[in-house]
Amino acid sequence: MSGKHIDTTKSNEEFWKELGIDIEKHDELMKVLPEVFENVYLTQKNRPKSIAYFDKFIADIHGARPKEVVERKNNGDKVIGAFCAYFPEEIVHASGAVPLILCGGADFPVADAEKVLPRNTCPLIKSSFGFRTSRTCPYFLSADLLVGETTCGGKKKMYELLNEYTPTYTLHLPHKKDDVEARKLWLNEVKLFKNKVEELTGNKITKDRLNDSIIRVNRKREVLQELYDTRKVNPLPISGKDVLLVMQLAFFDEFDRFVEKTGELVKELKGRIKRGEGIAPKDTPRILISGTPMTIPNWKLHDIIEKSGAVVVAEESCTGMRYFSDLVDENSVSTNAQLKNLAERYLHINCACFTPNTERPEDVVRLAKEYNADGVVYYVLQFCHEFNIEFAKVERALKEEGIPVIKIETDYSQSDTGQLKTRLETFIEILRASKPKIHTGKHLTSVKHPASVEIA
Amino acid sequence: MSGKHIDTTKSNEEFWKELGIDIEKHDELMKVLPEVFENVYLTQKNRPKSIAYFDKFIADIHGARPKEVVERKNNGDKVIGAFCAYFPEEIVHASGAVPLILCGGADFPVADAEKVLPRNTCPLIKSSFGFRTSRTCPYFLSADLLVGETTCGGKKKMYELLNEYTPTYTLHLPHKKDDVEARKLWLNEVKLFKNKVEELTGNKITKDRLNDSIIRVNRKREVLQELYDTRKVNPLPISGKDVLLVMQLAFFDEFDRFVEKTGELVKELKGRIKRGEGIAPKDTPRILISGTPMTIPNWKLHDIIEKSGAVVVAEESCTGMRYFSDLVDENSVSTNAQLKNLAERYLHINCACFTPNTERPEDVVRLAKEYNADGVVYYVLQFCHEFNIEFAKVERALKEEGIPVIKIETDYSQSDTGQLKTRLETFIEILRASKPKIHTGKHLTSVKHPASVEIA
């Protein structure tokens, strides 16, 4: 649609047509989603009221927000889509363009992708590619530029093919973060990306604009950390599923509104904590999920866990803590210093793509303790060699601390749901058996871990 | 065995015991190999006489050569093992250490590897890891240092685990080769590797020693190119299988002897060419294999193809042309210039691990023409995302030139041999049907390609 004015006041269907959506296929997708959402989300009891904003967002996810994005385009702004937590969105904001982290969590477009990509490729890669080639995602079709990155072999080679549909720019993330040359290379990549964005938008990214953008993205990361802090408490004031939804929308929503709405949610949750209200009894086993990301509408693992008598208390994931941990220094004296601080911040993300990656097993142990998790579910998207092999080290680190862990490798299909449910129910039963029964009004103290934290 | 003196005059079994081989498991492996070799190799007719040296090498592959390597160790030399064509062996030679490219082509140790590595990992990765953990490879057990590289996610993460068995050093190969910072990073890696090898061996790598080593490795690459040149001729003077064997041993054998013996083979083949002698009739379909490497004893694909009425005329592979194409400049004026030339030479290898990698589809087309191939078999080791996804571009390039191609994705097991045979027979039948029948004594001219080349 690049450059074309599109009327956003018309019906969704008219809007989609103008955008170039394959209406017939898209209708099939839209038929499935509400039912899935209802079954996963609306069956939950005692949800916080402020989650209504996010429910509403998802209910019209291909309508209202894409229209806003296209309005920005009608006004001359560019749209830049990406796929990964290494995408330095501050630079995009500072240029006046709209950053989006794109679809890739649905099984629906996988069949389309498999016309080109091998079947035994990670479902996230197939889903992203398929959403573009099947023309069923308005976000993809709004993008003027897609930004890939070299986090894994599958993605890096997929981006070469994606470039044949929409111009795709691949950030060169090094394999190591601890050597001087690798840091130089990455800093240079961040600079080149700034140049690329300036060239695309025609806007100069000044020190002031970048500083403003750094501060605003920091606020987004802070409010997400506050949201996660409420999950350290027992009983848990919000389900894992609901937080996952907020996290997923953090990549799509308009920036300031998202911070405001998440702030309202945090406020409500703090009230719940004060009143000792939870979404599950205090002796409910608490799970940390660690591993590969989950993008909309990939709610499969959370749903199974939370329907099997446990709660998810945190995600060591790129659709979790890896997205918002670490802020960027707000006091840089020059654009160069800003870019250096940005580059450094992004290199702190402990993705399994790095070698070695000793910080990640340490992180998982630390987070399990911080969030008072009774056990860890290690989540691997099928055929992700990096996270799959790194499990050996994470498992060892957890075992040394006596923290139970189970590895779940799966895709986006529903074919293994029954089997996963059985395995996870058993795991949760073991966790429950090793927990002391709660009879008092006091906070739960688990067998191995420090006492629960109360924040207010 | 690091540092320990081992008697190499004893029987193989005594030698293996001292080296730390798991004799019982190793016996199982040794029981299978001779039969496989006989079935694959010794059933061939009209082999060149000079191949006898290589047959003999393989017949005692865990005996004679490992004993030589250990004798070098007894004399104080170090042994450095590696897994990839990016391993700058010139540096190792120049230090006085023994470079080896290690085992990883057998199904045998895969079960051991799968105790730690995920099943859906590339067989090469599992086999390499399993050979070390199962203690069934004397080369692995001789190594003082293993050298990995970041060519793919699976290998890079496997090396972290391998490091728990034998010290493993991972070369940081960048994802891109066309940008200045990536070249700087790689040059720095080559320098750091030189330092590492100097530290390990205690020997200074002087300009003269490195120059000598560059010249010698160039000679090895040249003799392999000469060997490949004989395959451009029709009728083909040597089977693809036999050349594969020579290539595989290029990574294990003593340097100067290998050059001498390969030279003898080339001389014999040139005689055959002069006399018009071939190992198959002139109208036999000619296949270029393109894709992932094949290490000992992975002869599966060549065996099926050559038993199905076709011949393999070249391998666009790291156990093929990617190993010896491009020499290193022999006239560097300083060690820095030598290292720069070395680094540049290695970056010319067009592995699918690079993004973009536009040179590789071009290479495959060029080689198919140069070697008068009637078709290309694109070979992918299971779960190798890089080569698997890159097929889309290679296939397109070949189709544009009217060159037939088939993709074969497989592992080291024999479970799919029947199915592969059927698919390849059909492919070869199609190639044969599109070839003009040869009734004259003249060289075959295929339908689409330039006339065959005769070298003498």
| Average pLDDT in chain B | 94
The yes-or-no verdict on residue A441 having pLDDT over 80 is no
Q: How far is CA B164 from CA B129, B136, B137, in A?
A: 11, 17, 17
What is the residue type of A450? Answer: P
- A356: closest chain B residue by CA: B160
Helix (H, G, I), strand (E, B) or coil at A115: coil
- B408: closest chain A residue by CA: A118
Which chain A residues contact residue B157 at CB under 8 A? 352, 355, 385-386, 389-390
Instruction: Decide: B181 and A185 in contact? Cβ < 8 Å.
Output: yes
Would you call A172 and B179 a contact, using CB atoms and an 8 Å cutoff?
yes
Would you call B157 and A390 a contact, using CB atoms and an 8 Å cutoff?
yes
Question: How crowded is residue A296: how many other Cβ atoms within 10 Å of its Cβ?
Answer: 23
Instruction: Decide: B185 and B313 in contact? Cβ < 8 Å.
Output: no
The whole-angstrom distance between B239's CA and the closest CA on chain A is: 31
Q: How large is the ipTM?
A: 0.94
- A150: closest chain B residue by CA: B175
Q: How far apart are CA A91 and CA A204, in angstroms?
A: 11
Q: pLDDT per residue over A6-38, tens digit each? A: 999 999 999 999 999 999 999 999 999 999 999
What's the average model confidence in pLDDT over B95-105?
Answer: 93
The yes-or-no verdict on residue B427 having pLDDT over 90 is yes
The dihedral over CA atoms of A389, B108, B301, B120, expressed in degrees to the nearest 10, equals -20
pLDDT of residue B444: 39
- A409: closest chain B residue by CA: B118
Q: Provide the token pair at B51.
A: 């191949």
Would you call A385 and B185 a contact, using CB atoms and an 8 Å cutoff?
no
What's the average model confidence in pLDDT over B352-366?
Answer: 98
Which chain A residues contact residue B386 at CB under 8 A? 153, 156-157
pLDDT confidence tier of residue B401, bands split at 50, 70 and 90: very high
Q: pLDDT per residue over B159-168, tens digit each? A: 999 999 999 9
Query: Which one has a higher pLDDT value, A324 or A454?
Result: A324
| B-interface mutation test, from A180, A187, A355, most B Cβ less than 10 A away | A355
pLDDT confidence tier of residue B178, bands split at 50, 70 and 90: confident
pLDDT confidence tier of residue B443, bands split at 50, 70 and 90: very low
The yes-or-no verdict on residue B440 having pLDDT over 90 is no
Q: pLDDT per residue over A157-188, tens digit each? A: 999 999 999 999 999 999 999 889 999 999 99
The whole-angstrom distance between A3's CA and the closest CA on chain B is: 28
The yes-or-no verdict on residue A267 having pLDDT over 90 is yes
Which chain B residues contact residue A411 at CB under 8 A? none
pLDDT of residue B302: 98
The yes-or-no verdict on residue A380 having pLDDT over 70 is yes
Q: How far apart are CA A399 and CA A334, in angstroms?
A: 46
pLDDT confidence tier of residue B4, bands split at 50, 70 and 90: confident
pLDDT confidence tier of residue A248, bands split at 50, 70 and 90: very high
pLDDT of residue A79: 98
Would you call A154 and B188 a contact, using CB atoms and an 8 Å cutoff?
no
Would you call A121 and B356 a contact, using CB atoms and an 8 Å cutoff?
no
Would you call A161 and B392 a contact, using CB atoms and an 8 Å cutoff?
yes
Task: Go through B4-38 and write b for each residue having 16 or more CB atoms within 10 A of its CB, e for each that does not.
Answer: eebebeeebeebbebbebbeeebeebbeebeeebe
A153: nearest CB among B116, B160, B385? B385
pLDDT of residue B456: 36
Would you call A157 and B181 a contact, using CB atoms and an 8 Å cutoff?
no
How many beta-carbon contacts under 8 Å exist across A and B? 137
pLDDT of residue A103: 78
| Average pLDDT in chain A | 94
- With tokens 């029964």, the residue in question is A437
| pTM score, whole prediction | 0.94
The whole-angstrom distance between A444's CA and the closest CA on chain B is: 36
Residue B250 CA, chain-centre distance (Å), reads 8
What's the average model confidence in pLDDT over B291-318?
Answer: 98
pLDDT of residue B89: 97
Would you call A150 and B175 a contact, using CB atoms and an 8 Å cutoff?
yes
pLDDT confidence tier of residue B272, bands split at 50, 70 and 90: very high
Would you call B153 and A393 a contact, using CB atoms and an 8 Å cutoff?
no
Q: pLDDT per residue over B133-176, tens digit each? A: 999 999 999 999 999 999 999 999 999 999 999 999 999 999 99
Which chain A residues contact residue B189 at CB under 8 A? 181
Helix (H, G, I), strand (E, B) or coil at A238: coil
The yes-or-no verdict on residue B371 having pLDDT over 80 is yes
Would you call B157 and A409 a contact, using CB atoms and an 8 Å cutoff?
no
What's the average model confidence in pLDDT over A230-253?
Answer: 97
The whole-angstrom distance between B182's CA and the closest CA on chain A is: 7
pLDDT of residue A2: 54
- A120: closest chain B residue by CA: B383
pLDDT confidence tier of residue B260, bands split at 50, 70 and 90: very high
The whole-angstrom distance between A72's CA and the closest CA on chain B is: 32
The sign of the dihedral angle between the CA atoms of B79, B84, B85, B86 is negative
The whole-angstrom distance between A355's CA and the closest CA on chain B is: 7
Which chain B residues contact residue A157 at CB under 8 A? 352, 355, 385-386, 389-390
Pairing status of strand A286-291 against strand A311-316: parallel
- B388: closest chain A residue by CA: A118
A181: nearest CB among B159, B175, B184? B184
Q: Which residues contact B218 (CB under 8 A, 6 or more apart)?
A: B327, B328, B330
Would you call B172 and A182 a contact, using CB atoms and an 8 Å cutoff?
yes
Q: pLDDT per residue over B22-66, tens digit each? A: 999 999 999 999 999 999 999 999 999 999 999 999 999 999 999
pLDDT of residue B179: 87
Q: pLDDT per residue over A62-81, tens digit each? A: 999 999 999 999 999 999 99
H or E segment at A272?
helix A255-275
Would you call B174 and A174 a contact, using CB atoms and an 8 Å cutoff?
yes
The yes-or-no verdict on residue B454 having pLDDT over 70 is no
The whole-angstrom distance between A119's CA and the closest CA on chain B is: 10
Where are the alpha helices (H) located in A284-414, listed in sequence order? Answer: 300-306, 321-324, 335-347, 359-370, 385-400
The yes-or-no verdict on residue B441 having pLDDT over 90 is no
B181: nearest CB among A173, A184, A356? A184
pLDDT confidence tier of residue B437, bands split at 50, 70 and 90: low
Would you call A156 and B355 a contact, using CB atoms and an 8 Å cutoff?
yes
What's the average model confidence in pLDDT over A328-342?
Answer: 96
pLDDT of residue B346: 97
Q: How far apart are CA A309 and CA A35, in angstroms?
A: 22
B355: nearest CB among A121, A160, A184? A160
Backbone angles phi, psi at B405, to 5 degrees: -145, 145
Give all domains of chain A, ordered by start, each with its CATH number.
Answer: 12-181 (3.40.50.11890), 221-327+351-445 (3.40.50.11900)
Provide, rounded to the nearest whole percent, the portion of chain B with pLDDT above 90.
93
Residue B323: DSSP 8-state: H
Residue B20: DSSP 8-state: T
pLDDT of residue A193: 98
Would you call A179 and B172 a contact, using CB atoms and an 8 Å cutoff?
yes
Which chain A residues contact residue B393 at CB under 8 A? 160-161
| A-interface mutation test, from B122, B149, B389, B409, most A Cβ less than 10 A away | B389
Pairing status of strand B405-410 against strand B375-381: parallel
pLDDT of residue A4: 85
Q: pLDDT per residue over A87-110, tens digit each? A: 999 999 999 999 998 979 999 999
